[in-house]
Chains A and B, each alone.
Chain A
Amino acid sequence: ETGVTQSPTHLIKTRGQQVTLRCSSQSGHNTVSWYQQALGQGPQFIFQYYREEENGRGNFPPRFSGLQFPNYSSELNVNALELDDSALYLCASSSQRGTSTDTQYFGPGTRLTVL
């Protein structure tokens, strides 16, 4: 069974640029969630995708957007990068969307640095 994978591992961008992060969900999972983890803090929920539709969103501006593909892999896009966007971006997949027993399995993350 293949776990959740993310690419790239590290990324350096400058303010104002755009970035795309990628995530492959665990085999058999149809739901992908994205989180932002700033240094020294817990992860913050960005949004979730279920069967190619956005299924919920945290308190992040519209310049954070996403996609989910038919194979359930996903992308996180961030436009007009700001310095505060520097963080570890985590992707998690699960198979029981939005239920109380939904267990999310996390990838290793992408470290984004904005200069």
Chain B
Amino acid sequence: AQSVTQLDSHVSVSEGTPVLLRCNYSSSYSPSLFWYVQHPNKGLQLLLKYTSAATLVKGINGFEAEFKKSETSFHLTKPSAHMSDAAEYFCVVRGWVGNDMRFGAGTRLTVKP
């Protein structure tokens, strides 16, 4: 069965400093992995997805993630945080067959001025 674990429930950074949100996955198959962001009182917005092409995936708003099979990780990074990045971030895994997207518990990102 596939699952994800987000290693930090809350991350706090200063504006202009790097962001690292950690995600480990478990999957019986070659997984598809996603990062979504949820701003307060808003729906989920897709940041980026990995589907077995390039292991370094670039997304919107300067975010990127690297798929590391040996470490079963898919960490989300951004070189320089902006105040507007403050939100809840979810790592999601899908299996090769099926329609069940499994969400992590989420990481709340706080950006300090």
Contacts and interface: CB of A to CB of B under 8 A. Distances in A.
A41 interface: yes
B15 to A, nearest CB: 25
Given A107-B43, A109-B43, A100 B51 contact: yes
Q: How large is the interface on A (under 10, 10 to 19, 20 to 34, 35 or more residues)?
A: 20 to 34
B49 A103 contact: yes
Nearest to B51: A101
B113 interface: no
A16 interface: no
Which label, helix, strand, loop or mixed, suits the secondary structure of the A interface? loop
A108 B43 CA distance: 4
B43 A56 contact: no
Contacts of B43: 4, 90, 106-109
Interface string A90-115: 10100001101111111111000000
Interface stretch (A43-51, A67-75, A77-85): A43-51
A35 B38 CA distance: 14
Contacts of A42: 90, 103-106
A100 B103 contact: no
Contact of B45 (A48, A97, A102, A106): A106
B44 interface: yes
A28 interface: no
A106 B32 CA distance: 18
A8 interface: no
B46 A105 contact: yes
Contacts of A35: 103
A97 to B, nearest CB: 7
B55 to A, nearest CB: 16
For B43, B45, B52, B100, the residue with the greatest tally of chain A CB atoms inside 10 Å of its CB is B43
Contact of B99 (A4, A56, A107): A56
Interface in A37-66: 40-45, 48, 55-56, 58
8 contacts: A33-B99, A42-B90, A42-B103, A100-B52, A100-B94, A101-B49, A102-B99, A104-B46
Given A42-B90, A108-B41, 14 more contacts: A41-B105, A41-B106, A42-B104, A45-B102, A92-B44, A97-B99, A100-B30, A100-B52, A100-B95, A100-B97, A101-B49, A102-B32, A103-B34, A106-B45
